[in-house]
């Protein structure tokens, strides 16, 4: 090409047209070389990232049909919540300051029996998605009931999710027999197969609510469709002792014995682990979803995350449901993850800022088997991108981007969110959801929950009454 031809390719009219060009931001890529660009840009087209680079270079090559000026904003991959129960958002603050068993069996299970239905699952999911998008979460790994309804809401509102139906020893919400429950899950898997943002996986709730045959059937189904298998494991000392007494093995070894430990398994919590358990999780390449705030709130203990990381275990960080957190803010969650581990290990160097940021981006994506699609800002990946507003006092000065994200920023600093290139939060306005209507509906439901609780506690006083 001659000199004139070269300059022509850089002429305004000859630039490559893309759907969106995000310019002049502080780009934290989370790619293999941990690239950070001071004046960076991201080009987005057809739902995917076309290029990531310096603003000057990208502006000369690409022309955005939409240009987002990210001056004094941080541009990073959408955050990944490794373990939650989105519909439980309608139960926020219902019962606090109780031990897990009492919280679960005296409050949450009766509440769920009364109020978990299709309409309330949809309402809770909408509330959770509003909260997640507003705080930068674009992908979540969920376990609950009526996941077909959840999938419909997610399809409509735009985030990315892995949905798993919590199989338990029956009868439960999801069917009259194990056979029926499995058939229902399989139908939902088939219905949503191939959806660009929704993966339907399989879950067994926990070894104290699901017998080996439930786990084994769940594994067969997950393997058949190549989807995620999700469970709660080694969450409390009570569970650890119960499983040891019942089966003669620790919860992790129990799942090994029944053939469930595998790379497609994600265990939530993993707090009470022996040395052998940790080695087993590493050897079987099981993913661990760490939920520090829930673990602290229910006083369940501190998961040995630094040790698991040393062993090469894939770690993500989740909020768990808001009934035990009580929010879905992952910025808040990683701060807790870092601080709690430093305290418990008496070592300020463990769980450093970069490590926890990795756990809610590329590390979380690896744990969920989605790292070929999301988790970092790289050409070819899906355009799940968030912009965080740095024009506020707690964001200055900025010496280290990972430190800023972990120790200073908050979910409410997020001002723009994109999933598959579609803007779902635009300058702090949700584009697919009417928040005022949502709050009125949640308020009406909370009145009904209060009335029910008042009736129920006529015989048994509520600790807060
Ligand atoms: Zn959970």
Report whether pLDDT(8) > 60.
no
In the chain, where are the structural domains located?
3-77+377-430, 92-367
Model confidence band, residue 175 (pLDDT cutoffs 50, 70, 90): low
Confidence class for position 465, pLDDT limits 50, 70, 90: very low
Q: Is the pLDDT of residue 300 over 80?
A: yes
Tokens of 72: 């004094």
Cα 341 to averaged position of ligand 1 atoms, centre (Å): 20
- pLDDT of the residue at 12: 53
Compute, in angstroms, the gap from residue 271 CA to the centroid of ligand 1.
Answer: 13
Angle at 297 between CA 295 and CA 344, to 5 degrees: 60
* Among 98, 100, 34, 9, residue whose Cα is nearest residue 363: 34
Could you give the CA distance from residue 354 to residue 30 in angstroms, rounded to a whole number? Answer: 9
> Residue 170: what pLDDT?
72
pLDDT tens, residue by residue, 438-451 = 999 999 999 999 99
For residue 177, pLDDT beyond 90: no
pLDDT of residue 457: 83
Question: Where do the H-state alpha helices sit in 352-433?
Answer: 353-359, 362-367, 401-403
pLDDT of residue 14: 86
Model pTM score: 0.94
Q: Of 80, 58, 68, 33, give the one whose Cα is nearest residue 373.
A: 80
Using the mean position of ligand 1's atoms as its centre, give its distance from the Cα of residue 293 in Å. Answer: 12
DSSP string, 16-53: EEEEEEEEEEEEE--STT--EEEEEEEEEETTEEEEEE
Q: Residues with Cβ within 5 Å of ion ligand 1?
A: 320
Among the four given CATH numbers 3.20.20.70, 1.10.10.10, 2.50.20.10, 2.30.40.10, the one describing domain 3-77+377-430: 2.30.40.10
Cα of 235 to ligand 1 centre, how many Å? 9
CA of 24 to the centre of ligand 1 (A): 39
Give CA separation, 10 vs 1, 14, 45, 55, 347, in Å: 13, 6, 19, 15, 53
* Long-range Cβ pairs for the range 393-399 (8 Å, 24+): 398/26
**Average pLDDT of the chain, as a whole number:** 94
Is 3.40.50.150 the CATH classification of the domain at 92-367?
no
- Tell me the pLDDT band of 171, cut-offs 50, 70 and 90: low
Q: Is pLDDT above 60 for 351?
A: yes
**Which pLDDT tens digit goes with each residue over 319-329?**
999 998 999 99
Cα 101 to averaged position of ligand 1 atoms, centre (Å): 13
Determine the distance separating the centroid of ligand 1 and the alpha carbon of 84, expressed in angstroms. 6
Same topology for domains 3-77+377-430 and 92-367, yes or no?
no
């Amino acid at each position: 090409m001659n000199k004139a031809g070269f300059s022509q390719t850089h002429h305004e009219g000859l630039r490559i047209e893309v759907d969106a060009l995000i310019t002049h931001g502080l780009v934290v890529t989370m790619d293999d070389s941990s690239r950070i660009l001071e004046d960076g840009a991201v080009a987005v087209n057809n739902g995917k990232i076309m290029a990531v680079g310096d603003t000057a270079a990208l502006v000369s090559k690409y022309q955005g049909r939409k240009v987002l000026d990210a001056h004094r904003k941080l541009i990073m991959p959408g955050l990944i919540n490794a373990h939650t129960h989105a519909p439980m958002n309608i139960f926020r603050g219902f019962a606090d300051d109780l031990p897990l068993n009492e919280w679960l069996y005296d409050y949450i299970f009766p509440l769920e029996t009364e109020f978990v239905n299709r309409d309330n699952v949809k309402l809770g999911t909408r509330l959770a998605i509003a909260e997640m998008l507003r705080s930068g979460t674009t992908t979540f790994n969920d376990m609950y009931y009526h996941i077909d309804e959840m999938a419909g809401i997610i399809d409509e509102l735009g985030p990315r999710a892995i949905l798993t139906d919590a199989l338990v020893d029956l009868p439960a919400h999801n069917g009259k027999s194990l056979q029926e429950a499995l058939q229902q899950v399989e139908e939902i898997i088939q219905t949503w197969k191939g959806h660009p943002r929704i993966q339907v996986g399989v879950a067994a709730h926990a070894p104290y609510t699901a017998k080996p045959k439930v786990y084994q059937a769940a594994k067969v189904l997950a393997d058949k469709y190549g989807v995620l298998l999700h469970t709660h494991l080694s969450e409390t000392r009570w569970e650890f002792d119960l499983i040891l007494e019942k089966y003669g093995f620790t919860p992790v070894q129990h799942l090994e014995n029944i053939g469930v430990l595998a790379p497609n398994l994600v265990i939530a919590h993993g707090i009470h682990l022996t040395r052998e358990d940790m080695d087993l999780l590493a050897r079987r390449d099981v993913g661990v979803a760490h939920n520090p705030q829930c673990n602290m709130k229910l006083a369940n203990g501190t998961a040995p995350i630094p040790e698991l990381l040393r062993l090469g275990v894939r770690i993500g960080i989740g909020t768990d449901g808001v009934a035990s957190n009580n929010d879905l803010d992952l910025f808040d969650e990683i701060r807790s993850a870092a601080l709690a581990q430093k305290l418990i290990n008496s070592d300020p160097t463990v769980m450093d800022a970069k490590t926890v940021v990795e756990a809610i981006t590329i590390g979380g994506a690896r744990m969920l088997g989605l790292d070929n699609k999301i988790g970092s800002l790289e050409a070819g990946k899906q355009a799940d991108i968030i912009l965080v507003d740095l024009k506020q006092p707690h964001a200055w000065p900025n010496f280290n981007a990972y430190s800023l994200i972990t120790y200073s920023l908050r979910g409410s600093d997020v001002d723009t969110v994109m999933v598959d290139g579609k803007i779902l939060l635009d300058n702090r306005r949700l584009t697919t959801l009417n928040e005022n209507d949502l709050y009125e509906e949640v308020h009406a439901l909370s009145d009904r929950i209060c009335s029910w609780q008042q009736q129920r506690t006529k015989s048994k006083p509520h600790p807060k009454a």
